[in-house]
Amino acid sequence: MKNVSRIIPCYSADTAGVCSALYELGGMVVTHDASGCNSTYATHDEPRWYDMQSKMYISALTELDAIMGNDEKLISDVVSAAADQKPEFIAVCGSPMPMMTGVDFDAIAAEIEARSGIPTFGLHTNGTRSYIEGASEAFDYIVKQYVRECEKSDGIGVNIIGMTPLDFKWKGTMEAMKKWLADSGLEYISCLAMGSSLDEIKRAAAARVDLVVSSMGLSAAKFMQERFGIPYVCGVPTGQAFSGHLAEALRAAAEGKTADVLSVRSGGKDAVIIGEGIGSVSLSAALWLDEGISSSVICPLPTGEGILQSGDLALSAEEDIEAALERLSPKKVYADPLYKYILPEKADLIPTPHFAFSGRCFIR
């Protein structure tokens, strides 16, 4: 049966993407789902939960609520909680059951905002898509609602867009990114949305260029380009040579020049990289520039146009990934350790844990 995972797990769902994207921004996120499911979004898919509390709620949808369409219970519970918590905003999103019963999240959000006086928006998640789509929609709303024109930075100010612990290690990553920017003569403005407050993100228009580090940030970056004239570059600083190329590309883009840094690589069969598009292509480029290893990418997740290069594959089904690996017969495979069960017998696995895939299994 197509698209059924027999061996490997699935990636985090779009609902988890919303929770991860909005976790640090001071808002209240309410997922319309069954009682007990909050642990899925707020603990299993969220490494920050144990050290940094956030206003993550579940509606505790019951069978009777679902059958009878009891939207009033959800609305009144959210308004009551908001009066106590006083969040910056309220986000309401869904899971598979509300999808099947046809819940109108935009209408519910409008009613909650009218009663509470707090900016409220509905997000159209259903638990069947990947975290990329959910986080992308959440980031898109935040930049459209909160980012306003402001004075540009004196230097080359940079926003980092699309960073959450689903793709990046939570502790240490932002410190390393800020150091890399500073060492490269670039100025950090904000991060959407790990390690930045909503107030910092409100000043994101001060940047002269955006760095998109995962596909979940592409929609927000395109809006900022259209609305504020801020160009964007896709890539993750990986390895010495590629990190240098990426810094040069950011400077070039800030000056209005073309900066397609992801094409600085050589596709090949020495290795295969499996994972999120921008991060995987960045790793492929770093392997070529620093070690002379040619590699191709298998991306099981949605990604933007032009990210994957010639020879790369966009495959989401387990059987398609397994067949492609057999056909390519790589010497090495860079992937989450749980992919080891579908690798060709002679391929060496280079473990690259991905929290959105294996969760807490490989946290150190």
Spell out the per-residue pLDDT of the chain, length 364, in tens.
566 778 888 899 999 999 999 999 999 999 988 766 666 776 677 888 888 888 989 888 787 877 777 888 889 999 999 999 999 999 999 888 878 888 899 999 999 999 999 999 999 998 889 999 999 999 999 999 999 988 888 889 999 999 999 999 888 899 999 999 999 999 999 999 888 889 999 999 999 999 999 999 999 999 999 999 999 999 999 999 999 999 999 999 998 887 777 877 767 778 999 999 999 999 999 999 989 899 999 999 999 888 998 889 999 899 999 999 999 999 999 999 999 999 998 899 999 999 999 888 777 6
- Measure the CA angle with vertex 169, ends 179 and 12; round to 5°: 140
Sign, CA dihedral 30-33-34-36, equals negative
Q: Can you give the pLDDT at residue 63?
A: 79
* 218-228 and 131-146 helices, crossing angle to 10°: 20
Distance CA(39)–CA(227), nearest Å, equals 37
Q: Can you give the pLDDT at residue 361?
A: 79
* 240-254 and 277-291 helices, crossing angle to 10°: 120
> Which contacts (CB < 8 Å, 24+ apart) does range 58-61 have?
58/30, 58/31, 58/33, 58/34, 59/30, 59/31, 59/32, 59/33, 60/34, 60/35, 61/32, 61/33, 61/34, 61/35, 61/97, 61/98
Distance CA(27)–CA(199), nearest Å, equals 12
Token pair recorded at residue 42: 């707020």
Q: Report the DSSP beta bridge partners of residue 29.
A: 56, 91
Is 150-259 the same fold as 14-129?
yes
Distance CA(127)–CA(40), nearest Å, equals 11
CB atoms within 10 A of CB 300: 25
Fold topology of 262-362:
Rossmann fold (3.40.50)
Does the pTM surpass 0.85? The reply is: yes
Of 120, 90, 125, which is closest to residue 107 (Cα–Cα)? 120
Q: Give domain limits for the chain.
A: 14-129, 150-259, 262-362
Assigned CATH for 14-129: 3.40.50.1980
Contact in structure between 192 and 163 (CB atoms under 8 Å): yes
Q: Can you give the pLDDT at residue 50?
A: 81
Distance CA(281)–CA(287), nearest Å, equals 10
Assigned CATH for 150-259: 3.40.50.1980
Instruction: Find the radius of gyration of the CA atoms of the chain.
Output: 21
